[in-house]
Chain A
Amino acid sequence: MRKIKEFMIENLIFICGMASIFFVVLIFLFLLKEGLALFNIESPLKFLFGKSWYPISEPPQLGIFPLILGSLLVTAGAAIISIPIGVGCAIYIAEIAPVKTKEVLKAGVELLAAIPSVVLGFIGMVTLVPFVKTVFHLPTGLTALSGSIMLAFMAMPTIVTIAEDALYSVPKTYKEGALALGATHWQTIWRVMLPAASSGILAAVMLGIGRVIGETMAVMMITGNAAVIPHSILVPVRTLTATIAAEMGEAVVGSEHYFALFAIGIVLFIISFAINVTADLFLHKRQ
């Protein structure tokens, strides 16, 4: 009796474990099937590097180069803003803040992670967008910069939590050793703690960027969604994610437009996957 019970539970758990992989594979296959169909009609090179995205003109022009640039620009902007602030915040929490401040800050960071992206987007739309518009005297505040700032808020919790973890796991003996040699607190952080935690911090940054690149709602609301090649950070852009979200509803199933949106999905999948794998490599290097 006991053996049968054991057998059943073991198999049940096995099925649960397999199910997650199974579904991921199914999703991936579906994505591939729908996305790759596009390349019967359009060459991959023209798709990736075509300069115009007019999916409903006749014939449709399906070049996603402006979208890729839009995504990269917004992401790079968000990275430039969030990495120094996020890592700085992690250093402060892990090393400098008194216990009480630390608790408050950690709760704050977690709270930031809990804000739904549509709410952040909404707040950005009514505060940040007019602000950017007046500060830079622009015709519209719906720009890549606004998107970057908002996304930086979204990447920050990931970066802070993981970087802080990395700093905590630096052996205490390193810190003692540096201080005992007469290093100041900052010299200890800069010359010993940060190098020792570097792979964990890099992983934190990669995961933060991964979050940014896949983010959809907020960017759709505040970047202006103009599918043109951006020449500065102060113009409207459209990202890969926003394109799918905005157009999937109106694309005719089985049309070139429909397949192209799935192909964009593949591109996004590859980018996220590459970022996650890199982050993973850094994390493993740490151990």
Chain B
Amino acid sequence: MAKIKTDKLNLWYGPFHALKDVDSSFGANRITAIIGPSGCGKSTLLRVFNRMNDLIEGVRTAGKVLVDGEDIFGPGADLVKLRKKVGMVFQRPNPFPLSVYENIVFGERIHADSIKRDTLDEIVERSLKSVLLWDELKDRLNEPALRLTLEQKQRLCIARLIAVKPEVLLMDEPCSTLDPQATARIEELMRELKNNYTIIIVTHNMQQAARVSDDTGFMLLGELIEFGRTEDIFTAPKDRRTEDYITGRYG
């Protein structure tokens, strides 16, 4: 069943038409990769789903984006609720300049009506365990998060996100600053998280898309050219442009 659907989605940055009539459907508990050359609009599409584009001045959208059947641009849309449900992991790990502990409980502190120390401790342990950082960091919870390694930081950001119990994880090139081993481990983590979350990952690393995703969408110049099961896209692309891209003729 589709967790997120777009219907004739268009987006402009001022006069620049960045997304053109995008129709797509992202399945629940699947990993969907969006691939395409730089500037094709894949990050823009990802940032539509939690409305991060709202931060940019001069952005205009048309068309529908449904999350669980609700239009996120509709009149009754609640931005805070949306972002709780649809969380995002960024390209550069961006832990807050706070302790490891405070990074993870950040979401609880801003969303909960009353804060209980026990609940916080529990959240920290559960979240860190789910990103396999608990053993490494359980004795370092009060250290500044900025002192961790890049990979740990990115895991911490995922843990911080999981702590607010989202349903969808948007990942914008989450491994582009990591080395190959760290990348492999994060991919492993993604496969594990897929059982509980819907994951959409933007990457221009085609091998990564092929390795981790169930479905793949290929974008070019703001259009979603082809969308389907990853194995089909990579072995038998229907569109000539998809084939040219995945065989490395451009990009």
Q: Give chain A's interface residues, CB within 8 Å of chain B.
A: 171, 173-174, 176-184, 187, 191-192, 195-196
Contact = CB atoms under 8 A, between A and B. Distances in A.
B234 interface: no
Interface string B51-63: 0100100000000
B52 A179 contact: yes
A178 B87 CA distance: 11
A191 B109 contact: yes
B94 A181 contact: no
A178 B90 CA distance: 12
Given A177-B157, A195-B97, A196-B97, A182 B90 contact: no
Given A174-B96, A174-B97, A195-B97, A181 B106 contact: yes
B104 to A, nearest CB: 11
Contacts of B82: 182
Given A173-B92, A177-B90, A196-B97, A183 B110 contact: yes
Interface class of chain A by DSSP: helix
B98 A173 contact: no
Contacts of A171: 94
B164 A177 contact: no
27 contacts: A174-B94, A174-B97, A176-B55, A176-B90, A176-B94, A177-B90, A177-B95, A177-B157, A178-B96, A179-B52, A180-B50, A180-B90, A180-B161, A181-B84, A181-B110, A181-B161, A182-B83, A182-B84, A182-B110, A182-B164, A183-B106, A184-B80, A184-B110, A187-B110, A192-B96, A195-B96, A196-B97
A182 B111 contact: yes
Q: Which 6 pairs, one residue from A and one from B, show the smallest C-beta to C-beta distance?
A: A173-B94, A182-B83, A182-B84, A180-B88, A177-B94, A182-B80
Contact of B107 (A173, A174, A176, A181): A181
A179 B83 contact: yes
Nearest to B95: A177
A179 B55 CA distance: 10
A182 B83 CA distance: 5
Contacts of B107: 181-182
Interface string B20-38: 0000000000000000000
Contacts of B52: 176, 179-180
B160 interface: yes
B87 A181 contact: yes
A196 B50 CA distance: 24
B81 interface: yes
A196 B96 contact: yes
B139 to A, nearest CB: 24
User: Which of A176, A179, A180 has the most B CB atoms < 10 Å from its CB?
Assistant: A180
Contact of A191 (B50, B81, B95, B110): B110
A181 B98 contact: no
Nearest to B170: A180
A246 B140 CA distance: 59
Given A177-B94, A183-B80, A192-B96, 6 more contacts: A176-B52, A177-B95, A182-B84, A184-B80, A184-B110, A196-B96
Nearest to B78: A182
Contacts of A178: 96, 106
Interface in B140-198: 157, 160-161, 164
Most buried by A among B80, B83, B110, B161: B110
A187 B107 CA distance: 11
Contacts of B98: 195
A131 to B, nearest CB: 42
Contacts of B84: 181-182
A183 B55 CA distance: 13
Nearest to A198: B97
Nearest to B111: A182
B145 to A, nearest CB: 11
A101 to B, nearest CB: 14
A182 B82 CA distance: 8
A176 B80 CA distance: 13
A177 B110 contact: no
Contacts of A179: 52, 55, 83
A191 B98 CA distance: 10
A16 B111 CA distance: 58
A192 B110 CA distance: 11
B164 A181 contact: yes
A176 B88 CA distance: 9
A172 to B, nearest CB: 9
Contacts of B95: 177
